[in-house]
Amino acid sequence: MTVEQTDILISGGGIAGLIATIAFGREGLNVLCVDPAPPVTDEQTEGADLRTTAFLQPARDLLDEIGLWPRLEDEATPLQVMRIADLGGSSAIRDFDAADISDRPFAWNLPNWLTRREALALIEEMENTEFRSGVGTADILTRESEARIRLTDGTQVRARLLIGADGKGSPVREALGIGLRKTSYPQKALSFAVTHPKPHGNVSTEIHRSGGPFTLVPLPNRDGQSCSAIVWMETDDEADRLLALDETAFEQEATERSNSYFGPLTLVSKPTGWPMTNQIARSFIGERTALIAEAAHAVPPIGAQGLNMSLADIAMLRDLIREAPDKLGTQAMLAGYDRARRLETRLRVAGIDMLNRVSMADTAPIKAARSLGMRALHDIAPIRRGLMRLGLGS
């Protein structure tokens, strides 16, 4: 049996696990990241994650600090304005302009497959970080002094800190017996990219009509045409019906749903459907273990919060490690992480749950209240600026 020693073992090489590997590696620690699934780093390859992530200002700052941003910035589309168009009852369109609170855009949008490709390339270049694909976490035994992890290939790894970044169904969370507070919505988010004749002007546009929100997030031009990533939330039945349509029929429905806001939409990626849950782990820590990202919390894609909250987990852990490197993985360090991140996350998860319920509502009184509420929140400048700051997590 092979026995290995490392400072940190990260279970899960999704975007969060990869970014965590770089962040902790930059602190001079030896980091091993394992994932049973082979990484897909090419847009055309089957299984590529074609979703995009809008990295909010604090997330971009973290990516910059760890040296990943310079590899991404040329491909990132800045989001300067968030437009909410409520076309469900009385028509109301309001712009939230980043210039109101900052001299920088709100966020920068990047395809997930590309972020993954660049993160892996950087991990490869660094001397004290390793990404091992094809193996996962099998068993965990923790002691006060270390975590002992058996990988699926039989290797034993001894780590000062184990990080569970292994997604919504986290095997690390399960192995530690940490419970979940979870709501499954009878909804799916449809995710796809389109080109359209009217330019997006770096405005992220969220359209409310019937059904759930339909959000167009700017991407770089493609073949000389304006291009956007779309997240379209619908009830399960409606989402399944849409996913079964042929390309032309789907394009027609998407164009209709967008109120032809940018003209006819042409698909440039296959639509994928993502089940919607809102969940938070009852604890973000165990002995010698921390949960981050979707292993700790998952929310519907509203307000670009999901991965951004995950990067805040990583930044918090990184800061705690920096303050007291000799306390890596100790109860004192982990308790600080749990206290700070779980409270903040609980509030966001509850807020997103409420927004999701309101945005999916199809009854006339709620639609009218939603439209009125949106106008009031926007038109009172201090409230508008406060909300924008809250959205950014700052």
Ligand X SMILES: Cc1cc2nc3c(=O)[nH]c(=O)nc-3n(C[C@H](O)[C@H](O)[C@H](O)COP(=O)(O)OP(=O)(O)OC[C@H]3O[C@@H](n4cnc5c(N)ncnc54)[C@H](O)[C@@H]3O)c2cc1C
Provide CB contacts within 8 A for 386, sequence distance 6+.
none
Part of the chain binding ligand X (CB under 6 A), chosen from 30-38, 248-256, 313-321, 377-385? 30-38
Tell whether residue 348 is a contact of ligand X (CB under 6 A): no
Considering only 25, 88, 111, 167, the residue that binds ligand X (CB under 6 A) is 167
- Near ligand X by CB under 6 A: residue from 6, 21, 53, 356: 53
**Any contact of residue 280 with ligand X (CB under 6 A)?**
no
Check: CB of residue 214 under 8 Å from CB of residue 164.
Answer: no
Q: Where are the beta strands (DSSP E) in the chain?
A: 3-11, 31-35, 52-56, 77-79, 81-86, 92-97, 107-111, 129-133, 137-142, 147-151, 156-164, 180-196, 203-208, 214-222, 225-235, 266-267, 272-281, 285-286, 289-291, 297-298
Q: Which stretch binds ligand X (CB under 6 A): 13-21, 66-74, 333-341, 381-389?
A: 13-21
Asked if residue 51 binds ligand X (CB under 6 A), the reply is yes
* Cβ 106 vs Cβ 56: under 8 Å: yes
For residue 289, state whether it binds ligand X (rule: CB under 6 A): no
| Nearest distance, CB of residue 376 and ligand X, angstroms | 26
Among residues 150, 251, 274, 283, the one that binds ligand X under rule CB under 6 A: 274
Single out the residue of 86, 118, 294, 313 in contact with ligand X (rule: CB under 6 A). Answer: 294
Instruction: Specify the stretch interacting with ligand X by CB under 6 A; choose among 196-204, 297-305, 316-324, 360-368.
Output: 297-305
For 76, which DSSP code? Answer: P
CA distances from 215 to 87, 228, 261, 334 (A): 13, 9, 11, 37
Query: Does 164 participate in binding ligand X (rule CB under 6 A)?
Result: no
Question: Binders of ligand X among 305-334, rule CB under 6 A?
Answer: 305-308, 310
Of 174-203, binders to ligand X (CB under 6 A) are: 189, 191
Classify 342 as helix, strand or coil.
helix
**Selected binder of ligand X within 12, 212, 271, 286 (CB under 6 A):** 12
Residue nearest to ligand X (CB): 14
Cβ burial of 279 (10 Å; 0-12, 13-18, 19+) is: middle
Asked if residue 162 lies in contact with residue 11, where contact means CB atoms within 8 angstroms, the answer is yes
Distance, in Å, from the CA atom of 9 to the CA atom of 163, rounded to the nearest integer, reads 6
What is the CA 140 to chain-centroid distance, rounded?
Answer: 27
CB-based burial label for 239 (10 Å; 0-12, 13-18, 19+): buried
* Structural tokens at position 254: 């998407």
Per CB under 6 A, the list member of 34, 193, 265, 316 interacting with ligand X is 34
Among 122, 293, 315, 334, interactor with ligand X by CB under 6 A: 293
In whole angstroms, give the CA distance from residue 278 to residue 346.
Answer: 11
- Minimum CB distance to ligand X, residue 229 (Å): 8
**What 3-state class would DSSP assign to 97?**
strand
Q: How far is the CB of 204 from ligand X (least distance, A)?
A: 9
The DSSP symbol for 38 reads P
Stretch that binds ligand X, among 5-13, 78-86, 179-187, 377-385 (CB under 6 A): 5-13
**136 lines the binding site for ligand X (CB under 6 A):** yes
Stretch that binds ligand X, among 47-55, 200-208, 346-354, 364-372 (CB under 6 A): 47-55
CB of 250 to ligand X, least distance (A): 16
Q: Does 166 bind ligand X (CB under 6 A)?
A: yes
Extract the tokens encoding 188: 């799916």
Which of 28, 37, 64, 380 contacts ligand X by CB under 6 A? 37
Which listed residue (22, 24, 26, 36) binds ligand X by CB under 6 A?
36
What is the residue-wise DSSP string for 136-156? -EEEEEE-SS-EEEEETTS-E
Residue 6 sits in the site that holds ligand X (CB under 6 A): no
Contact status: 234 vs ligand X (CB under 6 A): no
By CB under 6 A, name the one of 8, 9, 15, 176 that touches ligand X. 15
**Residues lying near ligand X in the complex (CB under 6 A):** 11-17, 34-37, 51, 53-54, 136-137, 165-167, 171, 189, 191, 231, 274, 293-294, 301, 304-308, 310
